[in-house]
Amino acid sequence: MDTDPLGVYLNDHLAGSAAALEMMEEVAAQARGEPLGQKLAALRAQVGQEQERLRELLARIDTSENRLKQAAAWVTERVGRGKLALSARVDPALATLQGLEALVLGLQGKLGLYRTLAELEPNDPRLSGIAYAALAARTLEQQAMVEHERLAASRVAFRPRRSDESAPSG
pTM higher than 0.75, yes or no?
yes
State the pLDDT at residue 79.
54
Instruction: Kindly state the helix (H) or strand (E) to which residue 52 belongs, with its residue range.
Output: helix 35-60
What is the C-alpha to C-alpha distance for residues 41 and 28, in angstroms, rounded to an integer? 7
Burial of 32 (0-12, 13-18, 19+ CB in 10 A): exposed
State the pLDDT at residue 57.
95
pLDDT, tens digit only, all 170 positions of the chain: 557 999 999 999 999 999 899 899 989 988 888 999 999 999 999 999 999 999 999 999 998 765 655 655 555 565 555 555 555 555 688 999 999 999 999 999 999 999 999 999 999 999 999 999 999 999 999 999 999 999 999 999 999 877 666 555 55
Backbone phi, psi, residue 32, to 5°: -55, 130
Single-letter code of the amino acid located at 155: R
